[in-house]
Structure formats: C-alpha cells, structure tokens
Amino acid sequence: MNRIIPLSFDVELTNICHNACRMCPREKIKRPFGAISDDVFEILVEALKAWKPLITFSGMGDPLLHPDYDRFIMLAKDHDIDVGMVINPTSLNNEHIERIINAKPNSVLISFPSLRKDVFECLCPGISLEDALELTKILVEKARNKIGIRISGILTGLNSDESISFINFWKSKKVNAFMAKCHSRGGNLRDSTIYSPENVEKINNHQCSLYKFHTFIDWQGQVLACCHDLTGETEIENIKHGWDVIQREKGKFLKQNPFFNLCKKCDEPLKNTVIPDNIDFIEVSDIRKFRKNFFKGLR
C-alpha cells in the first residue's frame, strides 16, 4: 500500500485521566494536558465527514472525563460518521451508563484487563472486580441490540494463561471478547511484574500497517504518529488544514525506514496487520463498506 487511507481515527478527547492502571505509562506524558474544544471537534468532523471513517474516542486520557463526550458522539453521527469509544470500568457509574446509552455510539470497547480478582485489582486499583463486573453487566444489558459492545482483556506476566476462560465467560453473557498480549506502549512501559520487553527486532520495525490506515489526533487537533507518542515528537500536521493536507504529510513518512524513532521501540501486535492489496484503489463511496469487512478480521 503506497498511500494513506482514512479508514479509522482515534480522537483523544482529553489526555487527562484519574485512573492509575498499571499498564499505562501516564507519568511519562510530556505533551500539554487539556481537553478538545468545540471548535476543534467541529473542524475535525467537517474535515472527515466526506470519508465516513470510524472515529473512536480513545488515546492517553479518559474520554468519560470530557463533559461533552455524549454531545460529540451525536454531532459526529449527525454527519453520518460512525463513532466508537474505549472506556475503563473504573470510570463507569450509573450516570455515564445512561449518557452512553442515550448518545448511542456505534460501538463501545470496554477495557477489562482480567477476570481474576488479584490480577484485575493489581492492574486497575481504583475499583474492585465485583463493582467493575456489576457496572459492566449493567452497561452490556442496557446496550443490547442498541450499541455494539466488546470486551478486551490483557495478557500479562500475571495471567498469561487466562485467554480461554476470559473469552468463554463473556461469551456466556452473549458479549464478544478477546485478550491481547500486553505491549510496551511504544517502549514507554517498564514494569517487569506485568510486562517484560521482548526482542522488538522480531517485530517488523520497517513498516507499520496501523500508520497506513489509522490516524491519531490529539486533543489539540494535532496529528501524531500514534497514541504512543507521549512527548509530541512525531507531530505531523493539524486537522484544521484538512484531510488532503494530512494525507500528503503523513505519506511523506512512508519513505522512511522506520517511519519514526518511536517505531524502533514499538512491539504493538497490530502494527503487522495484513492490508489487502486492493486498498490502494478504494473510492470514497466504498470506504465504509470496505472498513466494516476489514475490521471484522482484525481480532
């Protein structure tokens, strides 16, 4: 693939978070802290609405901390843009559950690290496993047949054999679930209890498939290489200049090997996603259909 395709965007509503998850290197964030403004979000929607990508509220902060996350969901959907969000059960409460249900995002990914009490409460110390399960079950039931819900777990040094039992538990609740191997968040995670760095040379450091179809936009509207950039060292362009400019500027880095210094330390499994050869020939009118079929095979 020789060009950047606007299939998917992670939008960082805020990079502020009150949780203390063990798998998040928040203490290393050097970028300014803040929350996306109405103006920036409206510019973002205007720039992307013709492409009909998937916008996911994610990044280095907690999207539920943004006071207008539900209004932003509805604004994007008013422009026929599919919206997803990644949330942590530590931040859930009955008010947020109702706001999410009323806003009707297309999908919600709940990051639920483990079903083992000692592991879960080690990785997410802000909430008990019992409370997290109760809130998650409430959201799942209220969202059924309205919002697509998925549960993601994390395989660490504490629970490397949990995958089958985790998936089967959520399957019994009629919820799609998967577990992904913990990675270093671009070389920023160093906790031998839950993660031991592997030999990143085993992973293709010369290409990043995610970079080619997925774009990260921080709360200031700045396009970075990905959410693993905690310092802003990979600033590429701002969304206010439109997708055509971003596409061109992102494309320039395809000639570099690897794209950025950050890539040398990255062991994100999805960077090696196999992209179909015909992606170079997708027309705007076909992006949504292609995206839905393509993403089904990622997990």
- Of 88, 73, 79, 150, the C-alpha closest to 123 is 88
**pLDDT tens for each residue of 189-234:** 767 678 766 644 555 555 788 888 899 999 999 999 999 999 999 9
The domain segmentation of the chain, as residue ranges, is 8-296
Looking up tokens 């950050």 gives 262
Enter the CATH code of domain 8-296: 3.20.20.70
pLDDT for the residue 203:
54
Percentage of the residues of the chain whose pLDDT score is greater than 90: 64
Looking up tokens 């799942």 gives 140
Task: Count Cβ atoms below 10 Å from residue 126 Cβ, excluding itself.
Answer: 15
What confidence tier does 296 reach under pLDDT thresholds 50, 70, 90? low
Could you tell me the end-to-end alpha-carbon distance of the chain, in angstroms, rounded to an integer? 21
Looking up tokens 């690897």 gives 258
**pLDDT tens for each residue of 28-44:** 999 999 999 999 999 99
What is the pTM assigned to this prediction? Answer: 0.91
